[in-house]
């Protein structure tokens, strides 16, 4: 059992209080996932620079390790900014080659290093513990932006640590992230197929396959919308999952409708959550009509292209 939440500002203003919204929604669902909490926040685009959140290791002095790592990265990338917060090294840098290449080079620098998120707008922050603790460490309540995903985790199959927490960045595609509630039962079979193609898995968590699958489809020319539809045909088991890219928020639900997902939509925004209580907690004064997402179905909300460019 997990809690997943999503928010999308349909006006395209780019200054919705997404940090606060995510926190309120996650706190309402914390009983569905006491193990860990995380958010994927989509802020304004950072010109040509990429923003990376890098996990620097399991133990030790994160600050010292992080700054040492940043020094090594300066040898091959133009780093504008490097800072250590909590367990993460946050980098803003320029890079003109492929995303996978950058990720590989960084992760080869030291054992336990993992690029947790990478993109022009995306920042993933997650840790073991409650949403409240997440805010205490990272101050996410001040974050404004355009759309966001959130997750509270109750682990059933794999271990409880930062790497196994959600959201997952879809390694290989900038700004693509997902959160999942359920169990993808053909995970091992799919994972074997990808590993034969030399694709690295970071966790034993079945939810990781969603990002791997979507990234693979998109690297082969599909857009997110079609990749979601393809996932409905490919994934077995129970799932409601949300995915987001730089300008899109999307959901998909399995053909048996085993897992809940409530949609609350107004002219200004859409809020998605495992339980309606999360939507009511984030928007207590609004009369939002809600509905349950249908079985075997996916849907996307996108910013009109011109708005996305003019951030």
Interacting residue with other proteins among 295, 304, 309, 310 (CB under 8 A): 295
Nearer residue to other proteins within complex by CB, 160 or 257: 257
Least distance to other proteins, CB of residue 260, Å: 6
Give yes or no for residue 196 binding other proteins (CB under 8 A): no
Give yes or no for residue 276 binding other proteins (CB under 8 A): yes
Interacting residue with other proteins among 256, 286, 304, 309 (CB under 8 A): 256
Q: How far apart are the first and last CA of the chain?
A: 37
The active-site residue out of 2, 52, 125, 214 is: 2
Task: Show the binding pattern over residues 197-236: x = contacts other proteins (CB under 8 A), - = does not.
Answer: ----------------------------------------
Least distance to other proteins, CB of residue 237, Å: 16
CA distance linking residue 156 with residue 209, whole number of Å:
16
Interacting residue with other proteins among 37, 127, 275, 302 (CB under 8 A): 275
The candidate with the shortest Cα–Cα distance to 215, out of 205, 203, 200, is 200
For residues 238-269, one letter each, b for 16 or more C-beta atoms within 10 angstroms of the residue's C-beta and e for the rest, the string is: bbbbbbbbbbbbbbbbbeebebbbbbbbeeeb
Interacting residue with other proteins among 69, 138, 280, 311 (CB under 8 A): 280
DSSP state of 32: G
- Name the 3-class secondary structure at 306: helix
Nearer residue to other proteins within complex by CB, 23 or 209: 23
Q: Which residues, 6 or more positions from 302, have their beta carbon under 8 angstroms from its beta carbon?
A: 247, 248
Sheet holding 147-153, edge to edge: 122-128, 36-42, 147-153, 3-9, 269-273, 262-265, 289-292
Q: Which residues make up the interface to other proteins (CB under 8 A)?
A: 255-257, 260, 262, 275-277, 279-281, 284, 289-296
């Amino acid at each position: 059992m997990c809690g997943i939440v999503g928010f999308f500002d349909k006006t395209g203003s780019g200054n919705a209080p997404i940090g606060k919204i995510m926190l309120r929604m996650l706190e309402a669902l914390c009983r569905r996932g006491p193990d860990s909490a995380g958010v994927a926040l989509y802020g304004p685009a950072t010109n040509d620079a990429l923003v990376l959140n890098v996990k620097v290791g399991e133990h030790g002095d994160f600050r010292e390790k992080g700054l040492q790592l940043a020094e090594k990265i300066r040898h091959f990338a133009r780093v504008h900014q490097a800072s250590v917060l909590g367990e993460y090294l946050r980098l803003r840098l320029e890079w003109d080659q492929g995303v996978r290449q950058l990720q590989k080079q960084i992760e080869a620098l030291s054992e336990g290093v993992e690029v947790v998120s990478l993109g022009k707008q995306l920042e993933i922050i997650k840790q073991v513990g409650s949403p409240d603790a997440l805010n205490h460490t990272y101050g996410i309540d001040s974050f404004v932006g355009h759309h966001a995903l959130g997750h509270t985790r109750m682990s059933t199959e794999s271990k409880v640590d930062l790497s196994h927490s959600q959201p997952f960045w879809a390694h290989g595609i900038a700004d693509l992230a997902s959160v999942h509630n359920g169990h993808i039962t053909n995970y091992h079979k799919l994972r074997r197929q990808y590993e034969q193609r030399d694709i690295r898995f970071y966790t034993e968590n079945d939810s990781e396959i969603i990002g791997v699958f979507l990234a693979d489809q998109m690297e082969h020319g599909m857009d997110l919308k079609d990749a979601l539809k393809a996932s409905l045909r490919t994934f077995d088991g129970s799932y409601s999952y949300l995915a987001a890219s730089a300008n899109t928020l999307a959901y998909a639900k399995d053909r048996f409708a085993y897992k809940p997902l409530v949609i609350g939509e107004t002219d200004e925004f859409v809020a998605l959550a495992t339980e309606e209580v999360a939507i009511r907690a984030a928007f207590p004064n609004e009369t939002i009509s809600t509905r349950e997402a249908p079985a075997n179905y996916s849907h996307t909300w996108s910013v009109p292209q011109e708005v996305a460019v003019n951030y």
